[in-house]
Amino acid sequence: MRTYLLWLWFGLVLALQGCMHAAVQPIPTQVKASELKQRYYQAKTIAPDGTVLAFTVYQPHLKIGQTAPLLLHTHGFGLSRMKRPSLSLYGFLLPTGQVAKKAWQNGYWVISYDQRGHGNSQGKIRLADPEKEAQDVISIMNWAEQNLPQLAKNQNGVRAGMIGESYAGGIQYLVSALDPRLQAIVPITTWYDIMNSLAPNGIPKTNWITFLNLIGDWWNWNKFHPELKQAYVDTQQGQLKDSTYNFLKTHQASWFCEHAQAPKADALIIQGFRDVLFPFNEGVKAAQCIQHAQHEVHLIGVQGGHLQPFAQHSPLGNTPFWYIGKSVSCGNKQHYNLQDTIMAWFNQKLKDQTPITLPELCIDHSPVNHLSDLTPSTHYSIAKTWIAATPKQAVFIPIHSATQTTYMTGSPQLTLNIESKSGQIAPTLFISVAVKSARTGKYQILNEQTTPLNPAKKRLYDQVTLGASQQAGESQSIELPSVNAKLNPDDTLGLLINSESVYYQKIKQPKIEAEISGQIVLPKLWSETAQ
């Protein structure tokens, strides 16, 4: 009874607090200058298509004549904004909310908003549509310019930055490609190519997609747009359809980069090596795009990211399905606190403070310092090998034996020819880069990453996404997920081939019997002296 009363009291406090701050309070342009007190309040605006967007405004303490830049914050898929600085998920737990709070306390205007179809914002979820979700951000920036006093501005308008993880990261690339007011972005564990992330080589990550449907549509009370609902249904059939690709092809940074409309903002990108939804490769490609567009970019590689629910586990003290950690140790031997580094980045870009000393590429416990260090450069041939993989027995193909302590960071490139028995259905292989320990004889899949490959579905995928046609029997080239690994002396690096994966729904297929051959190009192998 006492516990029940305690929870009742706690809920009442939350409800009353929400009521106290729920009023929509747009601030008219002040005629008489006055000191601004630190506070927060709830507000709304209307998108061009009539959708009502809800957000929380965090007003900093500003003296008369003092200006402040704007930091935009939003949430991951299925969640909602930082409605309060303390009694909210982002306010007390998630790192992007912690940075937003710190920015507010250090003289930034902060707006934390609900994306359409989430929280208190109306509309249907279209999964980062540049004509909907991206335009919503532009509408909020317009509202800020019209209603917030003492905003820091330049020739483009308000000096604005943006931070968010996952779903909140993907939208940053699109907005920064469309609006030059967004000067500095921090996309965390997000996608560059959403199609390749959700359906690598044409095979949908059905377990993850089902989970996203659960928290995005069911949890938000049927908020998926009909086209997104249909795309979800199509993926449950185990392949990528033209209609799905046509719906989502512009919802990604890759489309803008390929069409000479790269993000205009300087970027600090954080991506995880254990991320089995948006692998580290996605951050690399986004960074390369921004660098090619001649904007400043830094890429930080952490061990975390999105973790497959119930298949992977985060370290104690972190959120169960996603984490990035608190700090990294870069190849330049320096240690960086992530939240402090993000804050220093915004201060540099939006307040003209001292530039950060972060290298172009910072990967935790890796000797690399530049994006070029990730380029695959070491070629190995894969001799014809007969494989008969089963759910209980994977096949290990050795590639390289370490003679000394060696480090490897980057994305292996694999060219593979799969020849199955005449009349047999093309097999689906699940390919991982793994290390066989010289000490224990056991296999370890590097960073828990696996890539599916089915020759028939890969040909269809290339046709849908690239318009390329390929004949049966031809070799197929794929990019494997990035890895960050340390090899001890006499350890053997190789490919581990399975007939199923915990990250994908079980596929009904006959016993895999096929002959494979080809080549693999590994990233540079660094000796211990490079550390």
> pLDDT per residue over 436-467, tens digit each?
999 999 999 999 999 999 999 999 999 999 88
State CA 284 to chain mean position distance: 11
Asked if residue 497 and residue 441 are part of one domain, the reply reads: yes
User: Closest Cα to residue 96, out of 173, 187, 21?
Assistant: 187
State CA 309 to chain mean position distance: 16
SS3 410: strand
Neighbours of 121 (CB within 10 A): 21
In a domain, 28, yes or no: no
Asked if residue 335 and residue 426 are part of one domain, the reply reads: no
What is the predicted pLDDT for the residue at 32?
60
E-state strands within 182-303 = 182-188, 266-272, 297-302
Asked if residue 365 and residue 380 are part of one domain, the reply reads: no
What is the predicted pLDDT for the residue at 372?
95
Residue ending a domain, choose from 320, 343, 371: 371
What is the predicted pLDDT for the residue at 423?
65
Asked if residue 153 and residue 90 are part of one domain, the reply reads: yes
In a domain, 269, yes or no: yes
In a domain, 9, yes or no: no
The mean per-residue pLDDT over the stretch 173-190 comes to: 98
C-alpha to C-alpha distance for 241 and 461, rounded to whole angstroms:
8
In a domain, 1, yes or no: no
CATH of the domain at 308: 3.40.50.1820
The mean per-residue pLDDT over the stretch 377-391 comes to: 87
504-523 tens-digit pLDDT: 888 777 777 889 999 999 99
CATH of the domain at 401: 2.60.120.260
Asked if residue 269 and residue 397 are part of one domain, the reply reads: no
C-alpha to C-alpha distance for 525 and 396, rounded to whole angstroms:
20
Neighbours of 41 (CB within 10 A): 16
Q: Which residues pair with 385 in a beta bridge?
A: 516
Neighbours of 246 (CB within 10 A): 12
C-alpha to C-alpha distance for 218 and 410, rounded to whole angstroms:
37
The mean per-residue pLDDT over the stretch 306-331 comes to: 92
Task: Give residue 509's domain range.
Answer: 375-530
Q: Indicate if the pLDDT at residue 27 is higher than 50.
A: no
In a domain, 3, yes or no: no
DSSP 455-489: HHHHHHHHHHHH-----TT--EEEEPPPEEEEE-T
What is the predicted pLDDT for the residue at 530?
54
238-247 tens-digit pLDDT: 777 899 999 9
Asked if residue 189 and residue 285 are part of one domain, the reply reads: yes
Using only the alpha carbons of the chain, give its radius of gyration. 24
b/e 358-379 (16+ beta carbons within 10 angstroms → b): bbbbbbbebbbeebebbebeee
Question: Distances in Å between the alpha carbon of 521 and those of 6, 187, 269, 286, 493?
Answer: 60, 29, 25, 22, 13
Neighbours of 29 (CB within 10 A): 8
Instruction: Look at 439 and 162; give whichever has higher pLDDT.
Output: 162
Whether 531 and 407 have beta carbons less than 8 Å apart is answered as yes
The mean per-residue pLDDT over the stretch 336-350 comes to: 98
DSSP 293-362: TT--EEEEEES-EE--TTTS-PPTTS-SSEE--SEEE-TTS-EEEHHHHHHHHHHHHHH--PPP---SEE
**57 Cβ contact list (under 8 Å, min separation 6):** 25, 40, 41, 42, 43, 109, 110, 111, 148
What is the predicted pLDDT for the residue at 207?
87
DSSP character at residue 195: H
- List the helix and strand counts (H, then E) for the chain: 13, 27
What is the predicted pLDDT for the residue at 531?
52
Asked if residue 470 and residue 333 are part of one domain, the reply reads: no
pLDDT range class, residue 17, cuts 50, 70, 90 = very low
SS3 175: helix
What is the predicted pLDDT for the residue at 24?
46
The mean per-residue pLDDT over the stretch 216-233 comes to: 84
In a domain, 499, yes or no: yes
In a domain, 18, yes or no: no
Residue with tokens 């993850």: 208
Asked if residue 362 and residue 411 are part of one domain, the reply reads: no
Residue ending a domain, choose from 371, 390, 417: 371
Percent of the chain whose predicted confidence (pLDDT) is above 70 = 92
User: Closest Cα to residue 133, out of 142, 143, 123, 145?
Assistant: 123
Structure tokens that stand for 309 in this block = 């629910």
C-alpha to C-alpha distance for 229 and 213, rounded to whole angstroms:
9
Q: pTM above the 0.85 mark? A: yes
Question: Distances in Å between the alpha carbon of 222 and those of 74, 167, 175, 251, 318?
Answer: 21, 18, 26, 21, 30
User: Closest Cα to residue 101, out of 114, 110, 88?
Assistant: 110
Q: Indicate if the pLDDT at residue 193 is higher than 60.
A: yes
100-157 tens-digit pLDDT: 999 999 999 999 999 999 999 999 999 999 999 999 999 999 999 999 999 999 999 9
- CA torsion, ordered 267, 273, 279, 282, to nearest 10 deg: 30
- Give the mean pLDDT of the chain: 90
C-alpha to C-alpha distance for 137 and 380, rounded to whole angstroms:
47
Q: Indicate if the pLDDT at residue 470 is higher than 80.
A: no
Asked if residue 487 and residue 366 are part of one domain, the reply reads: no
Residue ending a domain, choose from 371, 392, 420: 371
In a domain, 172, yes or no: yes
pLDDT range class, residue 427, cuts 50, 70, 90 = confident
* Number of domains within the chain: 2
Asked if residue 240 and residue 171 are part of one domain, the reply reads: yes
Instruction: Look at 68 and 31; give whichever has higher pLDDT.
Output: 68
Among 5-9, 173-177, 493-497, the range scoring the smallest mean pLDDT is 5-9
Whether 136 and 55 have beta carbons less than 8 Å apart is answered as no
* Overall size of the chain counted in residues: 531
Asked if residue 162 and residue 133 are part of one domain, the reply reads: yes
317-329 tens-digit pLDDT: 899 999 999 999 9
Whether 514 and 418 have beta carbons less than 8 Å apart is answered as yes
Asked if residue 410 and residue 275 are part of one domain, the reply reads: no
The mean per-residue pLDDT over the stretch 70-76 comes to: 98
C-alpha to C-alpha distance for 276 and 269, rounded to whole angstroms:
17
